[in-house]
């Protein structure tokens, strides 16, 4: 008599930065959380460079060096989106074969003005080009207006389950699949990449929670596996705005100049998550036994110079 079925092995978690500059401590905190979530659930931890839009020379290498400096080692080679364009084209072709793709000739200004009307949620595409006739599309092409490709969505909302936020229902509009310049759009690329890499756990900042219903719905249309989400609170500056490099010494390189090395930064990140006492020496491996997703802080982390140990006025 056969024994009980073996449960499927967990897939992978990931950290996927855009190489537009050095990572700041908020980015590194999210990377640490993604690593902890993956390692404590027996998953692989992957790093993907999302370089379709912005890529500054040398940024990706410095970002990888910063992850290593904190002890956040990853599995397998680093993947770069620019090397994966055929995968995105194939996904769009699959959707087009289902009649779910149409050309959109709207400018950003036209979309912003139309989306501000009271009949739809803020920022949602109002469907201006959804039902253009072949003659209307031909006229717009002849006028030289570049066409983006949009998804012909069949729902208005979609619900995902998030380990931090719980069930989250958000709007789904006719999202862009390929921009007018021919570049695959973020929402499509991230869905295709996660499925292709076996990612089934997405840990990222809660500013991206609103995009998860669109991405989950798109994955369903493509017949791709569902992923589990954990959207974690952001790091913010003392004014409550999302932390940015312009807020001062918030990168590893800048903090090192002020005498705050990677081990100290890791300790600060751990303390901000309730995983260590302020000033306590820690290692990434040592944090694994302390990590409890249910005990994560629910509020944003306010980053100040004193918190970082950089001295008054230096961060």
Q: Is 245 annotated as a binding residue?
A: yes
Contact 212, 170 (CB under 8 A): yes
Task: Give the ranges where 175-295 is alpha helix by DSSP (H).
Answer: 186-197, 212-221, 252-257, 262-272, 284-287
d(CA 216, CA 50): 19
Does the annotation flag 56 for ligand binding? no
139 annotated as ligand-binding: no
Is residue 204 a known part of a binding site? Answer: yes
At 83, phi and psi to the nearest 5? -90, 5
Burial of residue 247, with CB atoms counted within 10 A of its CB: 0-12 exposed, 13-18 middle, 19 or more buried = buried
Instruction: Report how far residue 176's alpha carbon sits from residue 148's, in angstroms, rounded to the nearest whole number.
Output: 7
Structure tokens at 44: 């692989």
Q: Is 102 annotated as a binding residue?
A: no
14 annotated binding-site participant: yes
Closest Cα partner for 279 from 308, 249, 250?
Answer: 308
Q: Which residues are catalytic?
A: 245
Per the annotation, does 106 bind a ligand? Answer: yes
- Whether 16 has a binding-site annotation, put simply, is yes
The answer for residues whose C-beta is within 8 angstroms of residue 135's C-beta and 6 or more apart is none
Annotated ligand binding at 15? The verdict is yes
Residue 104 marked ligand-binding? yes
Residues 77, 61: Cα–Cα separation, whole Å: 13
The annotation status of 88 as a binding-site residue, yes or no, is no
> What is the Cα–Cα distance from 247 to 259, expressed in whole angstroms?
18
**Residue 169 token pair:** 């229902």
Closest among 173, 165, 161, 168 to 122, alpha carbons compared: 173
Binding site for ATP, residues?
245
Binding site, residues?
14-18, 50, 104, 106, 125, 129, 186, 204, 245
Binding site for Zn(2+), residues?
104, 106, 125, 129
Binding site for L-glutamate, residues?
14-18, 50, 186, 204
């Amino acid at each position: 008599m056969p024994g009980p079925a073996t449960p499927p092995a967990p897939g992978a978690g990931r950290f996927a930065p855009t190489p537009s500059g050095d990572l700041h401590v908020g980015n590194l905190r999210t990377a640490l959380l993604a690593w902890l979530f993956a390692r404590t659930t027996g998953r692989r931890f992957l790093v993907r460079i999302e370089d379709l839009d912005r890529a500054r020379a040398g940024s990706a290498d410095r970002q990888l060096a910063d992850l290593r400096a904190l002890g956040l080692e990853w599995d397998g080679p680093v993947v770069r989106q620019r090397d994966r364009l055929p995968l995105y084209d194939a996904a769009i072709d699959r959707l087009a074969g289902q009649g779910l793709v149409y050309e959109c000739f709207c400018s950003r200004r036209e979309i912003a003005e139309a989306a501000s009307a009271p009949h739809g949620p803020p920022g949602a595409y109002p469907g201006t080009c959804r039902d253009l006739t072949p003659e209307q599309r031909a006229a717009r092409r002849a006028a030289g207006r570049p066409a983006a490709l949009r998804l012909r969505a069949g729902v208005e909302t979609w619900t995902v389950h998030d380990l931090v936020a719980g069930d989250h229902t958000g709007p789904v509009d006719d999202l862009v699949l390929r921009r007018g310049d021919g570049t695959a759009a973020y929402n499509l690329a991230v869905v295709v990449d996660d499925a292709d890499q076996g990612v089934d756990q997405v840990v990222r900042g809660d500013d991206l929670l609103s995009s998860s219903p669109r991405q989950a719905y798109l994955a369903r249309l493509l017949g791709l596996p569902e992923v589990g989400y954990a959207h974690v609170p952001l790091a913010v500056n003392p004014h409550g705005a999302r932390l940015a490099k312009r807020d001062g010494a918030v990168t590893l390189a800048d903090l090192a100049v002020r005498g705050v090395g990677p081990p100290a930064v890791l300790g600060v990140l751990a303390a901000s998550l309730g995983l260590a006492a302020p000033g306590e020496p820690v290692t990434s491996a040592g944090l694994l036994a302390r990590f409890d997703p249910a005990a994560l802080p629910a509020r944003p982390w306010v980053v100040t110079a004193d918190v970082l140990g950089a001295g008054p006025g230096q961060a």
